[in-house]
Each structure stands twice: as structure tokens, then as C-alpha cells.
Structure 1
Amino acid sequence: MTRTILVTGGARSGKSHIAEARTLDLGRPAVYIATAQAFDSEMEARIAEHQARRGPEWITHSEPLDLVGALRVTDGRPRLVDCLTLWLTNLMLGGHDWRAAGRALIAALPEQRAPVVFVTNELGAGIVPENRLAREFRDAAGLLNQWVAAAAEEVTLAVCGLPLKVK
């Protein structure tokens, strides 16, 4: 039986640190499935910071769109997907059907032999965005997070660098 774990929180809440530690607790080496794409120097610096933090116990697999495929080819070792929110961004901005991709992801989770830890951003506690695309993204992220949380055996909320068990 596989284990699906979701770690959520706001920006700079410590969710990636918590998820990295949790993933390594499940076995080493672990696979880091990176969904980020660097379109500017600021994002390049963020990605470099994450990479520098990880040591030799991590195997990096970059996949901005085909998350189900990435889970398939990396199965057998604990995986960390960082992050669902960036994956959703890639899907939406690329004109892909994010709902179909999200349903395919949920359907693939019971097929996994090794644990999967997901990082995602909690966006629902903020203000209502003023533009349509931002509102659509916030709503899509909320739904995707609910789907993954329902499928997960564990859900952790990161607050001020501390893990709070939700499920």
C-alpha cells in the first residue's frame, strides 16, 4: 500500500523544508519531482536555492506538465512533488485541462508502490483577487488541494516553520 502525504501552507511557511524531511524519513535516496519553470532571474534564484539545500540523497526529476508520467517513471523510491501550485500554473497558462489532469493524478495515486509527498500553497485565506484569471487560479488551486487532501493519508499545515497535523 502506498502512502500519499500533502503538506500545505502559505508563502515561506516552511512547507518545503517539512516535506523534504518527511520524504527522507520514508527512504533514501528520494526523488524530487520539480514542477517549477524558470522564466526570469528571480525564479532561477529560487530554484537554485532549493537545489543547493538538497544533498546527495536526492535525485531530481524535472517535470512541469506530465506529473502522472513523472510518478510512473520514478516509482520505487519515495517522491516529493514540489509543488502542485506551480504544476497547476503550468497547466492553466499552457491552456491544458487542469481538471482532467487533476483527476488523472488522483486516479494514479493508488497505483503507486512508493510514497508520494506533495507540497502545495494554501491560497484560500487571502483576499479575493481583483482579476478573473487570479480568481480562477485561486479557485482551481483550492479544488485541486481538496482532491489531493481527500486522497491523502496525511495532511500537514505548515505555519511559521512548524508542522500542524490536519489529517
Structure 2
Amino acid sequence: MPSDAVLYQAAALCLTYPDDDLVARLPLIREAAPQLREFTDHAAVTPLSELAAHYVRVFDFQNRHSLYLSWWRDGDTRRRGMSLVRFKELYRQHGLEFCDEELPDFLPAVLEFTARTGSTDLLTGHRDVLVELRTRLTDFGTPYASVLGAVCAALPPARTRRRP
């Protein structure tokens, strides 16, 4: 797995609801993805109950920090349904079937998809969303901002359009 793939997979783990599995994996994540050290160091010294309460405060109480990428562009509209279908279709094109445990635009799922396939299309296609989310998380003062910062830093450079 190339180093960016490891980072994307590790970031996916960091951005899911914290549980005993995450805590057990923190040393491995810290070693494999040093870009996430700010978050892993924080998570390693924070009791799980506090990590879980903080996650809920950051991600579950407001859409200001939504981890659902299509929500940022479509909100809770009909258009969002079509966006979700497009996510599922892209997963299928890469031979992956998405389970219905989460919506297909859930950022940890997109990060795992990117790690498995090497395709950064979903992430780069939502670069503006990721940057906005990183900014909002930074303003909120949460260690999750450093996870988004590492993801944004790993994205391939934005393509510039050539003028004819």
C-alpha cells in the first residue's frame, strides 16, 4: 500500500466514531501515518468516553462539520439522492459494493475507497468541501482539524485549466 493509501486508510479510522478498536490501533496509526500524530497523540491520552463525547459534539450536533460530502453541496434536497447514487456507481465501477451501514458519501468511507483503489477522484472532486471542513474544524479548535489537514496536504495538486 503506497504511503498516501496508508494515510487515507488511517485518516478514515481517525474520523469514525471512536471505540476500543481505534484506541488499540493508535500506536500502529501513529507509526504508519506520522502526519496524523497530532490527533493520535491527543487520542492516546484522552479517555475513550471523552473522545466519544467530543466526536459527538464536533460531528453530530451540527451540520457545520458534516462528514457527508454531498451534504455540503446539496443539503437535504432531492439532488442529494442523485449525488449518493453517483458515489455508489463509482464504487461499483471499481469492483466495490457499498454496504448500507453508512451513506456512501461519508468521508471515512470515501477515504477507505481512495486507499483501496488509489483513485483520488472523489476527494479531489470535493477538495473545496474538505478545505472548508478543515477550516471550520480549525476554528472549532478540535484535533480532528489536523486529520483533515493531512488529507488535504496529501491530495494531488489541483489541475489548472489551460486557456486556448
TM-score after normalising by structure 2: 0.30
Higher normalized helix content (fraction of residues): 2
Higher normalized strand content (fraction of residues): 1
Larger Rg computed on CA atoms? 2
**Structure with bigger RCO (C-alpha 8 Å, 6+ apart):** 1
